């Protein structure tokens, strides 16, 4: 009888773990486009995952205690499996699959093994410049870093091709981020301090205690290693980690992303057309990269002011000037730019 009760408790523990693992997976990576209502459901589902994990662990401990004297090895094995299941149920799989790096290896630009054409997310703050290889960020998605004394968050979403560096300070508080889930093929940031969810492409906090706040753009651009090696010879380059070498995207990763059906349709442009977008004086403007390659530099008026959009000499980096002022430019798939700026003007 004692053994039967123990076995029943252990089976119940496994069932609870599996149920909440499935729940957190469904909440993190939904099978269909998100709506505000389903996004709220996903956030609440992840919020109760800790309770499910705790229940699973209690059931496992009770079952192991009953089986301890007769089958000690089995009890130890079950406790180990329960611990793994509890952790998975509490946090879900997405952070296990794409773990944020905890420590960065840095190389001087001159010693980096990157090719000149390799894409990087590059930024200078004060006297420090740093390059984050896109294939590195495409796997890890984000890096909690500090540059020039500023806590920053270089981030990259391969599904919508958004590479952005945000500041990690919100209302005077420095936050640390991890992956929270996916919202219409753009990943969600989750801060460890409050568990709030933030949209990576816009920096807006959608759900949680910090809802309504917005991350501040830190600067930087998506560029090539060769261009920044020449323009910033003092920069450091984030080194890929050997233990993740099998997970970093291969050269074909962009074609694989292109095969994923977009979350919405557009009448203006192909959904996965790459555009360079900017917002100036309240007006949003975008130009397809293939069009810019044919007419660069492009002279336009945005927000009532003349703006020059051009490709840098590497033929890949997009830069914009309003007079002598450098404007922030975001390169991403059209479907995401249109979602963020539905009234955007398209060249």
Does 148 share its domain with 239?
Answer: yes
Higher pLDDT: 8 or 326? It is 326
CA quadruple 115, 121, 122, 128: dihedral positive or negative? negative
Residue pLDDT, tens place only, 158-186: 889 999 999 999 999 999 999 988 888 89
Is pLDDT of 69 > 60? no
For residue 90, what pLDDT is reported? Answer: 52
Is pLDDT of 247 > 70? no
201: in domain: yes
The percentage of residues in the chain with a pLDDT greater than 90, rounded to a whole number, is: 52
253: in domain: no
Does 65 share its domain with 142?
Answer: no
Mean pLDDT, residues 85-94: 57
Last residue of a domain, one of 244, 279, 308: 244
For residue 112, what pLDDT is reported? Answer: 93
Does 207 share its domain with 229?
Answer: yes
List the structure tokens of 247: 């997970």
50: in domain: yes
Does 110 share its domain with 240?
Answer: yes
Minimum mean pLDDT among 129-133, 180-184, 295-299, 334-338: which range? Answer: 180-184
Count of the separate structural domains present in the chain: 3
For residue 178, what pLDDT is reported? Answer: 92
12: in domain: yes
For residue 43, what pLDDT is reported? Answer: 77
Mean pLDDT, residues 2-14: 60
Residue pLDDT, tens place only, 305-316: 999 999 998 989
Last residue of a domain, one of 37, 70, 95: 95
Q: What is the pTM of this model?
A: 0.83
Residue numbers of the domain that contains 332: 261-346
17: in domain: yes
The percentage of residues in the chain with a pLDDT greater than 70, rounded to a whole number, is: 70
256: in domain: no
List the structure tokens of 149: 């004394």
Does 77 share its domain with 122?
Answer: no
């Amino acid at each position: 009888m004692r053994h039967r009760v123990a076995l029943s408790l252990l089976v119940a523990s496994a069932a609870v773990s599996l149920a909440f693992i499935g729940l957190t997976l469904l909440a993190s990576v939904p099978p269909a486009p998100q709506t505000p209502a389903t996004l709220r459901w996903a956030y609440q589902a992840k919020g109760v995952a800790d309770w499910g994990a705790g229940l699973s662990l209690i059931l496992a401990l009770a079952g192991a205690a009953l089986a301890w004297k007769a089958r000690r090895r089995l009890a130890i094995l079950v406790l180990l499996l329960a611990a793994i299941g509890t952790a998975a149920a509490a946090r879900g799989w997405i952070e296990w699959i794409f773990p944020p790096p905890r420590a960065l290896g840095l190389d001087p630009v001159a010693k980096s093994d990157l090719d000149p054409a390799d894409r990087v997310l590059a930024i200078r703050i004060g006297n420090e410049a740093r390059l984050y290889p896109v294939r590195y960020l495409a796997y890890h998605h984000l890096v909690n870093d500090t540059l020039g004394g500023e806590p920053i968050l270089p981030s990259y979403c391969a599904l919508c091709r958004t590479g952005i560096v945000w500041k990690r300070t919100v209302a005077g508080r420095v936050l640390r981020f991890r992956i929270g889930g996916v919202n219409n093929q753009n990943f969600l940031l989750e801060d460890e301090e409050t568990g709030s969810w933030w949209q990576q492409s816009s920096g807006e906090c959608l759900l949680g205690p910090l809802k309504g706040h917005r991350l501040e753009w830190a600067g930087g651009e998506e560029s090539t290693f060769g261009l920044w090696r020449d323009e910033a010879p003092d920069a450091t380059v984030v080194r890929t980690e050997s233990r993740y070498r099998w997970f970093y995207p291969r050269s074909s990763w962009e074609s694989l992303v292109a095969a994923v059906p977009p979350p919405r349709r557009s009448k203006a442009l192909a959904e996965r057309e790459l555009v360079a977008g900017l917002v100036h004086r309240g007006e949003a403007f975008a130009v397809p990269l293939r069009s810019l390659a044919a007419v660069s530099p492009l002279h336009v008026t945005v927000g009532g002011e003349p703006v020059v959009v051009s490709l840098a000499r590497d033929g890949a980096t997009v830069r914009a000037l309003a007079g002598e002022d450098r404007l922030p430019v975001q390169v991403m798939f059209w479907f995401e730019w249109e979602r963020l700026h539905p009234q955007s003007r398209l060249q």
